[in-house]
Amino acid sequence: MHESNLESYFVQKQVEVLLEINNKKIASEINTLSSSISSLKQEISDMKRYFRENMGSLKILEQNSQFSADTGIKAASTQDNVPVQRGTAPNPDNISVFRFFYAGKK
């Protein structure tokens, strides 16, 4: 009986050592994860600050692009509806009698 008590004691100590090793390993992994999470939080806060600072310039860029898109749409719609005019429309006051009767002859 004395050997079985001694054997159970060694088995118990072996289990305790294994549990302690596993606990240390898990604690180190948790510390690594928490440091990674804190660095990610810092990066997110830096990105938020950057976007807040540059939001004014982004709004200006959006307004400019929206304005150019609006004018492009308006220009396309007016070109489709209105015929292209080259020069002014002929008006009898603008045409001299000489040009009317002698066009092409010199």
11 within some domain:
no
pLDDT digit string (tens) for the chain, length 106 residues: 467 788 889 999 999 999 999 999 999 999 999 999 999 999 999 998 888 888 766 666 666 666 555 555 544 444 455 555 566 666 666 666 766 666 665 5
Q: What is the pLDDT of residue 3?
A: 72
**Is 68 a domain residue?**
yes
Spatial separation of the C-alpha atoms in residues 88 and 103, rounded to whole Å: 18
Let me know: does 94 contact 88? Beta carbons within 8 Å: yes
Report if residue 26 sits inside a domain.
Answer: no
In a domain, 21, yes or no: no
Domain span at residue 61 reads 37-75
Predicted local distance difference test score (pLDDT) of residue 75: 47
CA 66 to chain centroid:
17
Q: What integer pLDDT is reported at residue 51 of this predicted model? A: 84
Instruction: Look at residue 61 and tell me if it is in a domain.
Output: yes
CA 85 to chain centre: 44
pLDDT in the model for residue 10? 92
pTM reported for the whole predicted model = 0.44
